[in-house]
């Protein structure tokens, strides 16, 4: 009975999962590199608490591939001390970024009362041109500069004030709105998740960090919310192309959120099934390994194997399953309940294990 107690502590121990290398975040998928990106951060140039170079130091420490500094255009509580200069955060941080090998994206946060709320515009050339009174003019100018525009934390003042209205429909029909934050900091927005699937918008998940980043080690539960971008190369241009193509997933707390076509190969890169290392009568003993930084949670949908399996982050577990009568192979059907292909809907996965 007490063996269980020991196991609990082990999980705790292994669950420190700070990425040591960029490639530790999540594996690449066939045809694409998996880049860890935080596309929504702030500095002292708007209401953040750090000098822009700190965001680069933090990104390097956490082995992020790319960040956008997206200070508010309209909200600058420090401006009596630090006069408005929208393009400066990017300029200040750029040299350190190239030295530290962090891809830096020039961006801003368009910050209006809710509705219409807050929108990030990425890949801008001159942010000053967006500092103009009418909301529609700002979005138009962003699109003139070929920006990628997404709606931030749409429901942060409640689902009602964040509902999809004619304004969003206009933006959407003009192709001026390209994505939504499905996760922002500690919040997940199921309605954003649903709309992204319905309207083919790109899913994003970002930190919206204002304070200095914690340098506590990541755990499977507590870490920076990031957008996983499936890009052809590790360049700003490739990130642009991938965002426009909707090739993203979101790592939020102990969940990965995304389209099934990307979560499936991502899961397959994370979880591997070893050959049975032992057989006792008709019971096979085999190992499931999880290279991901999240605990993989599996719920049985088929007839064989344990009803639930948790493979802790960056760890492995030994599992047993019975061979069907007279068979040499057992097929296992599960749902990965924290790989969300839609709100509350886990990714279906299958394995088979063979007698040796």
| CA–CA gap between residue 276 and residue 284 (Å, rounded) | 6
- Strand, coil or helix: what is 171? helix
Least Cβ distance, residue 24 to a second copy (angstroms): 8
Query: Given the complex with a second copy, which of 17 and 139 has the nearer CB atom?
Result: 17
Size of the site for a second copy (CB under 8 A): 65
| CA–CA gap between residue 78 and residue 132 (Å, rounded) | 20
Question: Within 13 Å of residue 341, how many CA atoms lie on the same side as its CB?
Answer: 16
Backbone phi and psi for residue 60, each to the nearest 5 degrees, phi listed first: -65, -45
Backbone phi and psi for residue 261, each to the nearest 5 degrees, phi listed first: -65, -25
- Strand, coil or helix: what is 18? coil
The per-residue DSSP string of 248-293 comes to EEEEETTEEEE-HHHHHHHHHHHEEEPPP-EEETTEEEEEEEE-SS
Least Cβ distance, residue 128 to a second copy (angstroms): 15
Least Cβ distance, residue 163 to a second copy (angstroms): 20
By CB atoms closer than 10 A (0-12, 13-18, 19+), residue 58 is: buried
Residue from 174, 277, 328, 345 binding a second copy (CB under 8 A):
277
Tell which positions 114-153 bind a second copy, by CB under 8 A: none
Q: Rule CB under 8 A: is residue 356 a binding residue for a second copy?
A: no
Least Cβ distance, residue 216 to a second copy (angstroms): 5
For residues 35 to 54, the per-residue mask of contacts with a second copy, x marking binding by CB under 8 A and - elsewhere, is ---------xx--xxxx-xx
For residues 285 to 324, the per-residue mask of contacts with a second copy, x marking binding by CB under 8 A and - elsewhere, is x-x-x------------------------xxx-x------
Determine the interface stretch with a second copy among 131-139, 212-220, 241-249, 334-342 (rule: CB under 8 A).
212-220
Least Cβ distance, residue 39 to a second copy (angstroms): 15
Assess contact for 347 and 341: CB atoms under 8 A. Answer: yes
List residues binding a second copy (CB under 8 A): 1-6, 8-10, 12-14, 16, 18, 20-21, 44-45, 48-51, 53-54, 57, 60-61, 63, 78, 81-83, 85, 88, 92, 98-101, 156, 185-186, 207-217, 219, 222, 277-278, 280, 285, 287, 289, 314-316, 318
């Amino acid at each position: 009975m007490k063996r269980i107690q020991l196991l609990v502590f082990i999980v705790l121990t292994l669950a420190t999962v700070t990425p040591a290398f960029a490639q530790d975040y999540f594996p690449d998928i066939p045809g694409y590199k998996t880049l860890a990106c935080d596309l929504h951060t702030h500095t002292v140039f708007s209401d953040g608490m750090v000098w822009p170079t700190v965001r680069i130091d933090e990104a390097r420490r956490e082995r992020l591939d790319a960040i956008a500094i997206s200070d508010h255009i309209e909200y600058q509580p420090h401006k009596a001390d630090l006069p408005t200069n929208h393009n400066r955060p990017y300029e200040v941080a750029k040299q350190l970024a190239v030295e530290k090998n962090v891809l830096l994206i020039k961006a801003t946060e368009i910050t209006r009362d809710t509705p219409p709320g807050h929108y990030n515009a990425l890949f801008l050339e001159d942010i000053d041109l967006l500092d103009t009174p009418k909301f529609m003019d700002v979005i138009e100018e962003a699109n003139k500069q070929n920006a990628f525009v997404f709606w931030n934390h749409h429901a942060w003042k409640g689902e009602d004030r964040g509902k999809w209205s004619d304004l969003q429909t206009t933006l959407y029909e003009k192709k001026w709105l390209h994505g939504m934050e499905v996760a922002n900091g500690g919040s997940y927005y199921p309605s954003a998740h649903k709309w992204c699937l319905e309207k083919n918008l790109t899913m994003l998940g970002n930190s919206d960090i204002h304070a200095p980043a914690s340098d506590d080690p990541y755990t499977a539960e507590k870490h920076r919310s990031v957008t996983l971008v499936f890009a052809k190369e590790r360049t700003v241009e490739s990130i642009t192309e991938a965002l426009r193509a909707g090739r993203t997933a979101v790592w939020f707390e102990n969940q990965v959120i995304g389209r099934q076509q990307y979560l499936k190969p991502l899961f397959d890169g994370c979880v591997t099934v070893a050959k049975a290392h032992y057989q006792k009568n008709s019971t096979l003993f085999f190992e499931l390994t999880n290279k991901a930084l999240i605990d993989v949670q599996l719920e049985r949908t088929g007839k064989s194997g344990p009803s639930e399996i948790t493979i802790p982050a960056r760890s492995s577990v030994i599992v047993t399953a019975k061979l069907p009568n007279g068979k040499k192979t057992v097929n296992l059907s599960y749902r990965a309940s924290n790989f969300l292909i839609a709100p509350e809907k886990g990714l279906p996965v299958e394995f088979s294990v063979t007698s040796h």
